[in-house]
Amino acid sequence: MITLQQDADGLIRMNRHYPASIRVRIAFNDGSTGEFSGRTLNNAYDTALAEFRAKNGLDAKGFNRAPASRTNPGNRVDFVPVHPGMGE
């Protein structure tokens, strides 16, 4: 089992998908803990990644369709918002 700590902004560090069958325990800021499947956290990661790409003008594959003079070195998210009672 993996244990993660929620930061002051309500985020956990997650820069990749976890195996769907793994159980992950999250220690929340309010002192409570929650146990989630890898699939649930992967869905939260995918949602955060889609929001990041939408805010930065990237397409679904993460490509920047702007003129070549602009570059975007970061095409991923490292932090995912979580909350107690997140749906399974």
- pLDDT the model gives residue 40: 94
What is the domain count for the chain? 1
Any bridge partners for residue 80, and if so which?
12
74 Cβ partners below 8 Å, 6+ apart? Answer: none
Confidence (pTM): 0.75
Rounded Cα gap, residues 32 and 40, in angstroms: 18
Rounded Cα gap, residues 62 and 22, in angstroms: 27
Q: Is residue 73 part of a domain?
A: yes
Q: Is residue 57 part of a domain?
A: yes
- pLDDT the model gives residue 69: 57
Side-chain-side CA neighbours of 83 within 13 Å: the count stands at 3
Q: Is residue 86 part of a domain?
A: no
Q: Is residue 88 part of a domain?
A: no
Q: Could you report the average pLDDT of every consecutive run of 10 residues in the chain (88 residues)?
A: 91 91 93 94 92 80 66 66 77
- pLDDT the model gives residue 82: 84
Q: Is residue 15 part of a domain?
A: yes
Per the structure, the complete domain to which residue 19 belongs is given by 2-81
Q: Is residue 22 part of a domain?
A: yes
- pLDDT the model gives residue 17: 92
- pLDDT the model gives residue 63: 73
Q: Is residue 43 part of a domain?
A: yes
Q: Is residue 19 part of a domain?
A: yes
